[in-house]
Amino acid sequence: MPWKAATSGPSAVTFAATIRSGSSTRPTRADSGRRVTQARLLSCIAMLALLASCSRIIPEGAGEQPTPVAPSAAILGVSAGPSLASLPIRSVDASNALNAFVASCQVPQRREDVSGLTQAQDWAAPCDAAANWPRNDARRFFTENFTPVVVGDGQGYATGYFEPQIAGSRTRRPGFDQPVYGVPADLERCWREGTPETEREGRAPLSRRLPDGRCVEYFTRAQIEDGALAGRGLEIGWAADPVELFFLQIQGSGQLIGPDGEVVRIGYAGQNGHAYTGIGGLMRERGLLGNGPGQYAGSMQGIMQYIRENPAAGRALMRENESWVFFRVLDGPNAQIGPLGSIGVPVTAENSVAVDPNFVPYGAPVFLDLDRDEADGLWVAQDTGGAIKGANRFDTFWGAGDRAREIAGGMSGRGQAVVLLPKASARRLGLRERP
């Protein structure tokens, strides 16, 4: 189908930024007006858990790929962190973090902590205490139930992600001709033809099963854009702008906003098995990002500007990322709550953070003190993603809308990261918080 870069439309989308974007406004987290209702979250946890494997906010491979120096936090090493009393945690941040903690505290009680830092039973006491803890005294909850620790050197790096809103429709209509595909039936994990038996270890790659039973590499982004999946009834929606659809795929979840105001929330359902290639990194390597003549800002906004001003080159650039993401429609009660993180719990704006579970246990509170003030404070580990690899690597969630897009698109913060472990875990590790 014809490809074109739209020049206007509703909110542009963003991705987990890996390039410092320079100066920006610094709204505080308290200014967002977020409200998370504990009862609402608790009532939906059981239902949401069933969908955990179907919807992910951050697709595999998004962003840069730092190399872990050790396979887990337990092997890398942890040390005692600063006292909780010394951390500048505001009451409103503590209250919101407590609500987020309640939403996910059952998760580490029923799944193995691959970081090696905690055991399932360690979470029972703080989880039980959290349910009825007064929200106006939330800071004391964390003081009495957790011990701060530092993983490795504690030097954190945080990017941002959000839930994009793009022009779209459930049905094809004039101006909405970019297909949003569900998972094709011939996409499966199988060993491709020609793979030696000696290399068939671990999980087989995502591949395309042919009618004769053989497996081959799945279609690339370029092949899919050129119609490889057309006519198979896989379309769950149609987008107006291929550029915005591209960045929505990088986020892995979002909303299609129809011309009549209809909102359709879609979530990550699968991927074509091709490695993700960050186009921001390609632009940087080619000298296209910077402050010089002919260069573009090293942010989501700058990258989108380049693509729109250079449609042919921009299309070719996007096709260098051969990864394609498939989606599913999120309907029923889930569509009213918000996108689900990788552990099956709704991620909440300015409370949820994506982590590498090999270094930070799911459900653990994390305190960040960065050179980006808006990201300072308490977060709760409730998501992960292919780009979030290694110790002290974080991706902060900012919700939906223009403000979220602006902050997440330029988020690149460095500073100190402190992980809060249940006191039982810290005792087992022989750690006590510093005075």
DSSP states along 96-159: HHHHHHHHHTTHHHHS--TTSS--GGGGHHHHHHHHT--GGGHHHHHHHHEEEEEETT-EEEEE
pTM of the complete model = 0.74
Among 70-79, 375-384, 389-398, whose mean pLDDT is lowest?
A: 70-79
Q: Where in the chain is the domain with CATH 2.40.40.10?
A: 29-57+65-159+338-398+417-429
Residue 251 pLDDT more than 80?
Answer: yes
The residue ranking higher by pLDDT, 65 or 11, is 65
Residue 192 and residue 214: Cα distance in Å, rounded?
7
Q: Which of the four pLDDT bands, split at 50, 70 and 90, describes residue 333?
A: low
pLDDT at 6: 37
Residue 162 pLDDT more than 70?
Answer: yes
**DSSP for residue 267:** E
Q: Tell me the CATH number of domain 29-57+65-159+338-398+417-429, given options 1.10.579.10, 1.10.10.10, 2.40.40.10, 2.102.10.10.
A: 2.40.40.10
The per-residue pLDDT for range 400-433, each reduced to its tens digit, is 988 999 999 889 999 999 999 999 999 999 998 7
- Mean predicted confidence (pLDDT) in 310-327: 97
Among 15-24, 107-116, 232-241, 385-394, whose mean pLDDT is lowest?
A: 15-24
Residue 4 pLDDT more than 80?
Answer: no
Q: Are 407 and 27 in contact (CB under 8 A)?
A: yes
Residue 353's alpha-carbon distances to 206, 309, 345, 375, 408, in angstroms, are 27, 34, 12, 10, 12
